[in-house]
Structure 1
């Protein structure tokens, strides 16, 4: 990209020449398009923010640095959410949706700017949907809240959230409702009734 647009560096912050920063759509509008160009190049979509709205833009695939899960299914959530209160819901990156509270399934060849973070790297959409359910559980969000004391959600904030198997070999039945999955997780990790009561009382439900 910098070879094709050598002046682009002037629109970017020092040390961030190759980052998909939160303001990249406005910083480099000449490489992002609402409609897919028909110019012989391969294009992919990026999810980002523009005028404080979540939106997609097309960019040439050879202009991006692909993340390990770029070609896989994943769960996408906002990189900043709420106030840091324990058990708060996770806001949605869905566009044109009046209800807030649902993470998004990211399909293969969909990337994001730094306004969002992605979770997992799955071969199937089903695994991603099961991961989405896990992220919605009161159990997972309570453990996320141990380190998430501000709006910002970074990978390190998930340190105390246990990894799970989302395949058919899992010891959790992910086909159940989020509330039923929570009950399975309470049993799996041996939570006391006092701990369960605390979570059920303090943590907001997500469906």
Structure 2
């Protein structure tokens, strides 16, 4: 009985356990690593000249699983197992670890020893190569104006003593990989670190996974494959140039898309999901796209970008709906985005209620006097109103004297259709802090009410999902939603008919988006 229980619960692969430990630099489970490796042409593992590089080794799982395939694939060409292992480890597998700890872990999982020159290593490297072919060197960031010039890390956050990890990753900090290893790589593969704190407010972080991909492309491999967050499809701080390059690159041959990151990394939440891709230097054409949801996989063959667009639309059926909506309309003039404010519609920060004097402004009141302006904001997590006189020196006043709708700047999780804002219909003389964006202006309360009802339709919320990948609800997510005539109220049925949606398209929206009161 005990033996049976032991077999049913014991996981002999320590790397599967480690994969569940980190929420920052996410470790890759062996099963996922093999799915990524499966995208590569398998004849690569029968070629003794194929070279592989993981430039962001954490557990060494990619190199370990590649080694297994090479050991089997080269059996006929190098029959002697000892010589085969020597050839694979000395001439085909290479890695750059992201920390000293992960360098030891990677060498242990690949070479069976933390010390590749020791007698316990599966292949004993010469003494002048004590790290084997999985290297690590602690380096420093290069600071300028409080930021690292290579990765954008905050000096106040990462200018540390030797006892703490600096997260200055060699691969993206001016490392000449060709000189270090003195070779060209056929395959670059890995799971790079995703972000670093940039010193901004509210745990602000800068994506860095794009830097690993860009650096890998500079090395001109035959194949490149990495697993990264999917938020680059539509947004991400500093990712505009990267997104433009990726979605227009016809060498991206395969893309696996997971809206729920926990399907790849158990117990890890990554807003907007994750994806992994295969970039093939000699390919030019449409991309094979696999959309994963639970046990279901939806496959399509298309280019990553629609003509005239700047983002990747992950839902195939939304593309046909979007095309119909904008077939005869001017998206630059008729998008709902044009009536949504930017951040800080009145120039008031989110912490304005705490201390207006911090921004050079006079005190505010908790109780109204006749003629006062009313401000909606947050006190902790609670919505509250505060009051100011009409002549208060507001940074911005131009949106004040109309009816409008206030919508929270953070709404939902980023999952498809998860846009259920608790809105506020505001009268003239109402304003808000940057906790909200403003929709309007509207000439009457009736128009504002009709627009608010439109926000709640499944049609509206489906089109929001084209760009909404996380909690953020800035004006950009409203880009593909058309403005309507708000002198009347709209129903989903009327909207489906107006844009000639097919029954299949209607069923897609109805099945994916829940009703909203």
2:369 and 2:494 mapped to 1: Cα distance?
A: 48
1:28 has 2:360 as partner: no
Give the secondary-structure state (helix, strand or coil) at the position aligned to 2:388.
strand
Of residues 188, 201, 206, the one that matches 2:511 is 201
Of residues 343, 358, 383, the one that matches 1:54 is 383
1:89 Cα deviation after fit: 3.7
Give the secondary-structure state (helix, strand or coil) at the position aligned to 1:121.
strand
Q: Structure 2, unaligned stretches of length 5 or more?
A: 1-200, 202-343
User: Aligned ranges for residues 14-163 of structure 1 at < 5 Å?
Assistant: 19-28=347-356, 31-36=363-368, 43-61=372-390, 62-92=392-422, 103-163=423-483
Q: Is the 8 A contact 1:77 1:90 kept in 2?
A: no
2:369 and 2:433 mapped to 1: Cα distance?
A: 20
1:88 and 1:136 mapped to 2: Cα distance?
A: 11
1:145 and 1:60 mapped to 2: Cα distance?
A: 40
Higher mean C-alpha displacement, 189-198 vs 56-65? 56-65
Q: Is the 8 A contact 1:46 1:112 kept in 2?
A: yes
**Between Structure 1 and Structure 2, how many residues are aligned?**
169
Give the alignment's Cα RMSD to 1 decimal: 2.2
1:164 Cα deviation after fit: 0.9
1:19 and 1:68 mapped to 2: Cα distance?
A: 11
Q: Is the 8 A contact 1:77 1:116 kept in 2?
A: yes
Q: Structure 1, unaligned stretches of length 5 or more?
A: 1-12, 93-102, 168-172
Deviations 1:146-168 (A, max 9, x none): 1111111111110000011112x
Deviations 1:165-189 (A, max 9, x none): 112xxxxx51x6xxxx001001111
Q: Is the 8 A contact 1:89 1:204 kept in 2?
A: no
1:37 Cα deviation after fit: 5.1
1:205 and 1:65 mapped to 2: Cα distance?
A: 38
CA gap of 1:68–1:161, structure 2 versus 1, over 3 A, is farther
Q: TM-score normalized by structure 2?
A: 0.31
Q: TM-score normalized by structure 1?
A: 0.75
Larger Rg: 2
1:113 Cα deviation after fit: 0.4
CA gap of 1:129–1:37, structure 2 versus 1, over 3 A, is closer
Q: Is the 8 A contact 1:79 1:153 kept in 2?
A: yes
